[in-house]
Amino acid sequence: MSCRSIFCLLLVGLVQVPLCVEAAGPPPLRASVRQVIMRGRNAAPVEVEVTLRWDGTRLLEGCLEFAVRDNAAVLGSNRSEPLALTTGERTYRTMLPPLAHQPYNRQAEVELRFVTAETTIALGRFALNFPLPTESSLVMGVVESATGTVGEPAELLLNLRLNPFMPEDKSRRMTLSTTLARLTPEDLAADPLALCVYDVLALRPAGFAAMREKQLAAVLRWVRAGGSVCVFPGPAGSKPYQAQFLRDLAAGAKDADAVPAGSPTDHDASDIRLSRVGLGRAVVMAAEPRDTAVYTSADWRCAVCFLWKVRADQTESILQTGRWEPPPDKDSDRYDPYGSASFAPRTLATEYFLPGLLPETLSVMPFGITVLLLLLFTLAIGPGDYYLLGWLRRQRWTWVLFPVLCVGFTALTVLLARHYLGTKDSRRALVVVDVDERGEILRSTRLEVILTAGNQTVTTPVRHAWFTPVVQQDMQQMYYGPGYRGRYAGSEAGVPECNGRLPVSYDVVQSLRQWAPQVNRTLSFDAAAPVPGPDWATVEALAAKEWATPATSPTESAQSEPPYYRQFPGDISPTERARQLGRFLLLWREGGKLVRFDDAVRTHGGPSADSQMAYIGRFFGMVRASSGRGFFSVASQVSPLATASLEDLSVGDPSDPTERVVVVVSRQGDDYVAYRRLYRTDRVTPPPRIESR
């Protein structure tokens, strides 16, 4: 063999070595996961930053699978949109869906896998931090410059929290934590739904100056839906879209009214503008305070209370004493394992609205038929079997007759159950549309009940919304403790799987059991109106007429209450009950006419329709205002949060006499559609001028 031939063989061998190595197994794919907010809000979506490093030479196509685990239990699962990885490192951010259950401890793990058409690559497990089920966890996002302010003292940010106003808690049940999430303008999402991970946003001068127009538009949309923002604009109007953003926060006021006049260095915390924007709050300060004495002033306390939506009565206590009033333990008609003073998040049990969304023909097999079936079965396998086979002299056939009787009675029981429970799948919804004073939609919440006639997999497409399953053991959780997960514990079948890009476009796959109602919640800021809204001029005229008639006495008011309202709440005084009833109006719209909801309940034919409408009315009576228990003994409202507890549906302050809530309910097919509007007799309460203590 010549030297040239030997050289060619060696060259071919060297070329084949990498190909053989790559054919033997995929090159290593490594990953790391960083939680953007180290401890988020209760049951909020989780934002993570994933770094993937691919050392292969070919294009790697597939998708990422996330499974959040608390020991053996799967709490959440989702699969990303398709990805294509080239050689090198790639970092991107994604959102994990709201969990149906919170981990019992502070930590859980996310299991990460990369799924291709040929194989699945396990990338390991990474720790995630969650708040305890017994605490209220708040998050304040702070947008500041990428350089220069991150290392500065955080006294300003610490005094923007509610924690300095917390009274001494000897029982240690008022567990309140506030996480400061410090962000650069590049980190802030331009999608208002992604801002649901925050309770409050603070825009510092350098950060505000660097924010893009789409980001400010997303912040404004989120604030209108119920968020809170504190802005330190610095030199006002440096960019046209920033000046427009400040004007929108000031509800259409002129530039001079949106930001105090003068240079930022000339002002302190007394230069504050407070404004209600839709369901949200906005606080605009010309400059960050330089004197620490500002943090004890009445103006500053009032601004912080306004920002966090503190109740009117607790705001007064904070202004006078510097502390809110501790919530007393109340006797309630419902068992609460935490006590009413505990800040543990409460769960709104599905029993308050679920019966109103079940099919009218749905009924349980009567008890008498059940007893009759058991009696006939006992007679058939006992005396019937003995005497019949004895008369035929075929006792040995008992081993055949007994299984036949078991199968026959089982089939008869199933047929009777299907007759009473139905053989068709049902999907019904209650849609709550919150609107502003112009009738524009601020947010839309859809509570859908799915009832299947058999075990099956159901797929729900979700577009520009957050999806959360309201699992039925949430009510059991109230009785058995915060870590209870009921029949879904350790079962992946009960956990929905999200496929796609959250929260923009994805599909939710659920495995549902036969005749087991499943309640799902979706929260959207851009949903189209399911039906046209009511004529608000007519609604205002009717509301003015109703509110012009004062309640005569607590006793007479309680006697005139509709049944749906009388059932909740049971832990307030008759005087307070009458006061709240006078600030809440529930109307029924049918055929273009508006009537009081309780009148519609009485006039609608059939006990089934009456019962269903009464449950819908009971639900709105419950969420008209904050419950006054736990954290809601301090705050009247929280920022939008796609949680199964439905805590963010409360919009009114029961201690504020200037607020009124009107709900207009109508029926569209099998669904109920409700338009809700919050009225105020004054737009903003100015900070009172009192001496700070």
For residue 607, the model assigns a pLDDT of 44
Please report the DSSP string for 451-507 in residue order: E-SSSEEEEEEEESSEEEEE-THHHHHHHH-TT--GGGTT-STTS-EEEEETTTEEE
Tell me the two tokens of residue 145.
Answer: 């410059």
Note the pLDDT tens digit of each residue in 147-199.
544 445 578 999 999 999 998 865 556 788 999 999 999 999 999 999 999 99
Note the pLDDT tens digit of each residue in 121-138.
999 999 999 998 788 999
Going by pLDDT thresholds of 50, 70 and 90, the confidence category of residue 200 is very high
More reliable by pLDDT, 458 or 254: 458
Average pLDDT over residues 406-433: 85
Average pLDDT over residues 569-597: 68
Going by pLDDT thresholds of 50, 70 and 90, the confidence category of residue 292 is confident
Radius of gyration of the chain (CA): 30
Sheet holding 176-183, edge to edge: 176-183, 136-143, 200-203, 228-231, 280-285, 272-277
Who's near 271: CB < 8 A, 6+ residues apart? 260, 285, 286, 287
Q: What is the pTM of this model?
A: 0.83
Tell me the two tokens of residue 323.
Answer: 């502390």
Tell me the two tokens of residue 367.
Answer: 């008890």
Residue ranges of domains in the chain, CATH in brackets: 28-126 (2.60.40.10), 136-308 (3.40.50), 367-421 (no CATH), 429-450+523-693 (no CATH)
- Do you know the residue count of the chain? 693
| Cβ pair 613, 604 in contact under 8 A | yes
For the chain, the farthest-separated pair of C-alpha atoms sits apart, in whole angstroms, at 116
Going by pLDDT thresholds of 50, 70 and 90, the confidence category of residue 238 is confident
- Count Cβ atoms below 10 Å from residue 16 Cβ, excluding itself: 11
Average pLDDT over residues 304-330: 89
Note the pLDDT tens digit of each residue in 12-62.
454 444 444 344 455 589 999 999 999 999 889 999 999 999 998 899 999
